[in-house]
Amino acid sequence: MTKTLSGDDSYRLLIGDEWQLGGDGTYPIVNPATEEIVGEAPEGSVDQALAAAASARAAFDSWSQTTPKERASLLQAAADALRSRVKEFVPLVISETGCTATVGRTMQVPQAATRFERYAQGALESSVIPLPPQEMPSTALAPGGI
């Protein structure tokens, strides 16, 4: 089995603030290029899926009260973390997708970071709705649910 970034051999599900083994066992993670089993992923149970959804819903209440600037900052931090740890993520991407090291290093991991950056920018964007000159409403994106 491959090592996780933490060095632990077991992959787990994050439900709420607790890491859990899969309630329905595991399933193999197969490198599509080599057909080698590179790890075992936890298979969540129905109860775990319901618990994860309930936890996400509970977290949404506080998350939706954060400012766009706070949300953008957290998303940008995720992008920065990916970019600063490319060398650690590339072997995982290669194992999971079967891509070459060059594609993992120059495309897949950087593109994931870029997505987080786009989401961060999106949290800050608003738009103006064209109306008569005496009115000037604007819109701002806000979390809508889980």
**Which among 5, 41, 35 has a CA at the least distance from the CA of 95?**
35
- pTM metric for this prediction: 0.70
Q: Which residues are registered as beta bridge partners of 42?
A: 26
**Low-confidence stretches of the chain (pLDDT beneath 70):** 1-10, 127-129, 136-137, 140-141, 145-146
Percent of the chain with pLDDT over 90: 62
What's the pLDDT tens digit per position in 100-134? 999 999 999 999 999 999 999 988 877 666 777 77
Q: How far apart are CA 72 and CA 70, in angstroms?
A: 5
The domain spans of the chain are: 1-63, 67-146
Q: What is the pLDDT of residue 87?
A: 94
